[in-house]
Structure 1
Amino acid sequence: MLKRKIRALFNDESAVAPVHAPLPYNHVSVYCWRPADGRVNFGDHLGRIVVSQLLASRGLTLEDEVTSAARMLAIGSVLHFAANGDVIWGSGVNGKVPESAFIATALDIRAVRGPLTQEFLRKRGFEVPSVFGDPALLVPHLFRERFECTGELPHVFVPNLHDLALVAGQSHVVSPLLGWNKVIAEILRARLVLASSLHGLIIAEAFGIPARYVRLSETENLFKYQDYYYGTGRENFEYAASIAEAIEMGGMPAFTFDPQPLLAAFPWDLWK
């Protein structure tokens, strides 16, 4: 019963609850997908957090009035929600959504999550720079003094929303429905992070913690995980089928992330 309720609640990928009421003047909005019940999914919400913090470094906000209104897609497998004129900075394709759902024909693309998203867009005639990286990788760079890796737990598991019911009652589970800062703090308590949440993996690796994808169900397409790993130069993508197997496998090989290309691709020009 619990599994059916949670799946019914979160399986609607098109259900979106507004994060904030629209402002009555030209501004730049950041698109963030949310579950139908209005709660906040950690990974998707990070888009607004990262953009806001980056803007704050130059004394700007998402509430600033600008010359021309714009919408930005920054984090998440949300390109099927893109509309003509949107600015893309680090988001990606969701492999489980039919390609026919992608209807945009004019996008301003500054960076994408990985080479699979780049290929998808180029086949449709878009100009896509070879600037890869999920903006969540910038969290340690943007919040230098905020978080600390403690390593007090041998491991934690961060489930994707659709896997949440599968691990109900288990120990060391970090719900993606917690506040973004709480999720990060809980991830940083571990020496090994296991996750079916893509951003559970990304945050762990951004802070240098070994991480392994655990495929508990077939709900999520492998596309977005492969896109991320290929974008970080790791084409030998291996995942575990259980938490026990993931503990035995340990984390994926580490990679070196240079934040400068992604930072340089940020669309500062929108805040004229």
Structure 2
Amino acid sequence: MPPNARELASGSCMNADLHLSREGHVAVLTIDRPEKRNAMTAAMWAALPGVLAPPARDPDVRVLVVTGAGPSFCAGADISDLLGGTDPDDPMADLRRDNLAAQAALRDFPKPTVAMIRGHCVGGGMEIAASCDLRFADPTAVFGVTPAKVGIAYPPSSTKALIDLIGPAMTKYLLFSGELVDTAAALRAGLIDRVVPADDLEAEVRRFADVVASRSALAQRATKEVVADLVTGGDGEAVAGRWYRETISAGELAEGVSAFAERRAPRFRWSG
């Protein structure tokens, strides 16, 4: 993102390899271990919910972009941490707990999230990308889910995130084989939403993020909660009804209709 984007404070939960910045209404979370293809350490997984908390609360942040430093998005969990837990009968217990909490924090982020993907998006990187609302990639991106290569049973929540994106058969294909797929295959499967030329990716993500930031944050929050309710077996009616009433009481609906009639850009004030 632009070099003049300012750093966001994240309190004591900030990790040296997770950087937050903001320009305008767009916050950017950068995974910054390019020498390791941005592999996530145990400390990074543990820190991620705390890093996400300030932009989640900040009324000036309307969109979160998640990306990796250098030529890769994230090559997964740092394999040196896989057996580093304190329980000899379950050496991955601590890592699994923090990994799942990090995914949940990203899935539950109250504002639209976009993964901007170059290069490797594998294993834990795919978990991060799948936890975002949308995924934009350039043609260098490759995708894979590799627990079968190291003898790990993939957790149900991560499996469901894949099923929601690409269906059960493609989920099995990726999990059975651990093979990498290119952007063309990922786009056909629904694993990603857009493929953008490498030289244009950052500008296009920024353009799209600015468009999203200009829309009704209340309507977007409603969309996130209704979709979440529907994919978890609800009918969405109670959630949608609550947000519909909120659009009226907050003045968002009136402002949107007035702006349309007056042929001007709406000035939405609700920030969530």
TM-score (norm: length of structure 1): 0.32
Structure with the bigger RCO (C-alpha within 8 Å, sep 6+) is: 1
TM-score (norm: length of structure 2): 0.32
